Amino acid sequence: MPLVEITYAPHVAETTLRELGSSLPHLVSLAVECPEEPYDGDLQPGDVEVRFRQLGPFDRSGLDFVIEIRSKYFESRAADRQDRVDRLYEGVAAATGLDDFGIYLSLPVAAWAQGD
């Protein structure tokens, strides 16, 4: 289950943020899909958590938004992580029409539990 955090500049349009919130669960799921956690295209509650945070007065960023993704480490994911994040970047650019953003993909050793 990927955790996705988007930090965005105050001037980013609400429509862009809505598009990100709508398209990121699918795009991220495609980006982190692997044999250990296959993606069947049918996202369920808790499959991808997306959180938004506007830059504060003391934050510094030269980008319109930064997408940070944390998803459990699997060797199959780690082997081609740069290709994965590059494809995700292209998907987000196509969905938003923007190119002044960055994506950080982190694959920590982790575990997840969830109730029904």
Find out whether 81 and 105 touch, Cβ atoms under 8 Å: yes
Residue ranges of the domains in the chain? 3-106
Give percent of the chain with pLDDT exceeding 70.
100
Axis-axis angle for helices 81-96, 14-32 (nearest 10): 150
Which amino acid, residue 10?
P
> From residue 41, how far is each of 18, 27, 47, 58 by CA, in Å?
20, 10, 11, 39
Judge whether residue 56 has pLDDT over 90: yes
pTM of this structure = 0.90
CATH architecture assignment, domain 3-106:
2-Layer Sandwich (3.30)
In this prediction, residue 85 carries a pLDDT of: 97
C-alpha 70 chain-centroid distance: 8
In this prediction, residue 94 carries a pLDDT of: 92
